Structure 1
Amino acid sequence: MDIRFLSTFIEVADTRHFGKAAENLFLTQSAVSARIKLLEEYFQTTLFIRHRNSIQLTPAGEKLLPFAHQLNATLKEAKRELQLESGEFVVCGATQLASELQLTQTLAQIYEHFPDWSVKAEVLTLEGLSRQLHERVIDLAFSSEPLKSEEVVSVPMFEQPLGLFASPGAPQEPTASDFVALDWGSKARDALSAQFPQLRDARLRTNSLRLAMASMHDEGGFVVLPINMGQGPANTLNLSLLHNFEPVTTTVFLNHLKTIKRPALNTVIDALFGAMN
């Protein structure tokens, strides 16, 4: 049986609402319902009484609830202890753009300060990032916007103003058919639409910096990038700056839970912030 089924059961029991449980777990309501159905099939009993405007635990559900809490906590602790047994470790998660802008440098800092540690890194959606951080599956989360939670600390690690760049041979006026659109967030989209409304219909829309730069390399055109990427030695495509969107910036945030149960993880966070200063 998947441990996540018990976590879902606990969330529905706490909220007494499939929709709210789905929102808290960053799942669809149908996924929550399917997990509860599988759990009921496993125990061969009904766990919830579903009324139109309320959900109540059945007597069987009431009996299962304390066991679910105990099993959930025990399995999480067992996983953590087994990881600790193999040595110190840190698990990082990042959204696509945050991974390409900051994660490589951060991993290098971790290797430099903690050469004997085991490091795991994954690229996730923003919703998956938040869910896994709250479930303590990952220790550190990197995103292009702060995670909205009272349980999370979000600190900017990287911030750069954005600019519109053109490749050699691009038309003098930006056109939609020559534009590669990266998702830098709502502020960047608003600034771009106000200045260049014709770019709303881009030839390529992506959340991957690598894919955007590959398209620019193969086909040229226009792209919005952090200023430091489009200028200087890093500018291997010989891009020219057409428009500076400052003070509109792109930011990468380091997110971690306020309550950290592993003292060694605090050491990692301190080392990362120290490297930033």
Structure 2
Amino acid sequence: MDIRFLSTFIEVANTRHFGKAAENLFLTQSAVSARIKLLEEYFQTTLFIRHRNSIQLTPAGEKLLPFAHQLSDTLKDAKRELQLESGEYVVCGATQLASELQLSSTLSKIHEFFPDWSVKAEILTLDNLSRQLHERVIDLAFSSEALKSEEVISEEVWREPLGLFSVNDAQQSIDAADFVAIEWGSKPREAVCQVFPQLREARLRTNSLRLALSSVEEEGGCVVLPLSYAQRGNKQRELILLQTFTEAYACVYLNHLKTVKRPALSTVIDQLFKPAS
């Protein structure tokens, strides 16, 4: 039996929703359903009671759940031990936006300062990023908003003012129909809407900087960007600064657990992100 079936079972049990489980696991809903069906065939029992708006564990599913967690945790521990045996490593996770702003430079620094280390990087949703960090699946988590947890230290490692840019220097009005909104977070969003209340709506909302730029370059319109990012090359059309927001910033946070069990990981954090004294 594929151990991933048990991981899928745990995710469905946690979310009580096949669609949400599929999103968290980066699978299609049909793939999740197929895995659960094969798992039920393997154990020759029904694991979930499927109601129209609710999914509940059967008594058999309740009995299986602790064993599934135990097996999953054992395999994670085994994987880490084998990685330690083969050499030092670091696993980084990032939200889409944080990955585009910070992850590449972080990976370059790791390779520069720790050339013998093995590095793995994944792009995750904010919820999945937090969950995998708490489960110690990933070591370092990068996000555009600080993770709120008593077990996590969140440190701002990058910050830059935001500005509203257009690809049309003759643009007379700022309309929602022309606006591409990047999900910078609640504080930047409110700062922008205080100046342009009409921009609470947008023609496109995205968590991808690249997709937003591509949209305004191909279709026109305006977008809120970090000031220096808009000056970078390789753009099809020039971006014109319309407004600078003094209270709106793009930020990237490094998140890691307070209790770091590997001394070498603490060295990475100190070497790459702690300011020199």
TM over 0.5: yes
Give the match for residue 261 of structure 1: 261
Structure 2 Cα separation of the partners of residues 146 and 76 of structure 1: 26
Unaligned runs of at least 5 residues, structure 2: 50-55
**Structure 2 vs 1, CA of residues 177 and 47 (structure 1 numbering), >3 Å: closer, same or farther?**
closer
Does the aligned pair in 1 maintain the 2:159–2:249 contact within 8 Å? yes
Structure 1 Cα separation of the partners of residues 219 and 4 of structure 2: 45
What amino acid is aligned across from residue 121 of structure 2 in structure 1? A
Q: Deviations over 1:122-168 (max 9, x none)?
A: 11111221222222221111111112222222111111222212235
**Structure 2 vs 1, CA of residues 41 and 190 (structure 1 numbering), >3 Å: closer, same or farther?**
same
Give the match for residue 53 of structure 2: none
Structure 1 Cα separation of the partners of residues 192 and 33 of structure 2: 41
Deviation at 1:34, TM superposition (A): 9.0
Does the aligned pair in 1 maintain the 2:47–2:57 contact within 8 Å? no
Give the match for residue 97 of structure 1: 97
* 1:180 equivalenced with 2:180 (yes/no): yes
SS of match in other structure, 1:177:
helix
5 Å-filtered alignment, 1:131-170, equals: 131-170=131-170
**Structure 2 vs 1, CA of residues 61 and 116 (structure 1 numbering), >3 Å: closer, same or farther?**
same
Give the match for residue 106 of structure 1: 106
Give the match for residue 128 of structure 1: 128
What amino acid is aligned across from residue 211 of structure 2 in structure 1? L
Deviation at 1:230, TM superposition (A): 3.5
Structure 2 Cα separation of the partners of residues 239 and 274 of structure 1: 34
Q: Deviations over 1:70-104 (max 9, x none)?
A: 43332111111222233221111111110111111
What amino acid is aligned across from residue 247 of structure 2 in structure 1? P
**Structure 2 vs 1, CA of residues 11 and 149 (structure 1 numbering), >3 Å: closer, same or farther?**
farther
Give the match for residue 240 of structure 1: 240
**Structure 2 vs 1, CA of residues 33 and 259 (structure 1 numbering), >3 Å: closer, same or farther?**
farther
Deviation at 1:183, TM superposition (A): 1.2
SS of match in other structure, 1:245:
strand
Does the aligned pair in 1 maintain the 2:46–2:58 contact within 8 Å? no
Structure 2 Cα separation of the partners of residues 176 and 47 of structure 1: 47
Deviation at 1:175, TM superposition (A): 2.5
What amino acid is aligned across from residue 209 of structure 1 in structure 2? L
**Structure 2 vs 1, CA of residues 243 and 167 (structure 1 numbering), >3 Å: closer, same or farther?**
same
Does the aligned pair in 1 maintain the 2:165–2:243 contact within 8 Å? yes
Structure 1 Cα separation of the partners of residues 97 and 276 of structure 2: 19
Unaligned runs of at least 5 residues, structure 1: none
Structure 1 Cα separation of the partners of residues 156 and 273 of structure 2: 10
Give the match for residue 212 of structure 1: 212
What amino acid is aligned across from residue 71 of structure 1 in structure 2? L
Structure 2 Cα separation of the partners of residues 12 and 205 of structure 1: 28
Identity of matched residues, %: 66
Give the match for residue 226 of structure 1: 226
Computed over aligned residues only, the root mean square deviation of the Cα atoms, in angstroms, reads: 3.9
Structure 1 Cα separation of the partners of residues 215 and 9 of structure 2: 45
TM-score, normalisation: structure 1: 0.76
* 1:171 equivalenced with 2:171 (yes/no): yes
Per mean C-alpha deviation after superposition, the further-off stretch among 239-248 and 65-74 is 65-74
Does the aligned pair in 1 maintain the 2:5–2:39 contact within 8 Å? yes
Give the match for residue 115 of structure 1: 115
**Structure 2 vs 1, CA of residues 152 and 4 (structure 1 numbering), >3 Å: closer, same or farther?**
farther
**Structure 2 vs 1, CA of residues 67 and 195 (structure 1 numbering), >3 Å: closer, same or farther?**
closer
Does the aligned pair in 2 maintain the 1:94–1:122 contact within 8 Å? yes
Count of residues in correspondence between the two structures: 268
What amino acid is aligned across from residue 188 of structure 1 in structure 2? P
Per mean C-alpha deviation after superposition, the further-off stretch among 234-243 and 258-267 is 234-243
Does the aligned pair in 1 maintain the 2:216–2:222 contact within 8 Å? yes
Does the aligned pair in 2 maintain the 1:170–1:221 contact within 8 Å? no
Does the aligned pair in 2 maintain the 1:167–1:238 contact within 8 Å? yes
Structure 1 Cα separation of the partners of residues 170 and 223 of structure 2: 11
Give the match for residue 198 of structure 2: 198
5 Å-filtered alignment, 1:20-35, equals: none
Does the aligned pair in 2 maintain the 1:162–1:226 contact within 8 Å? yes
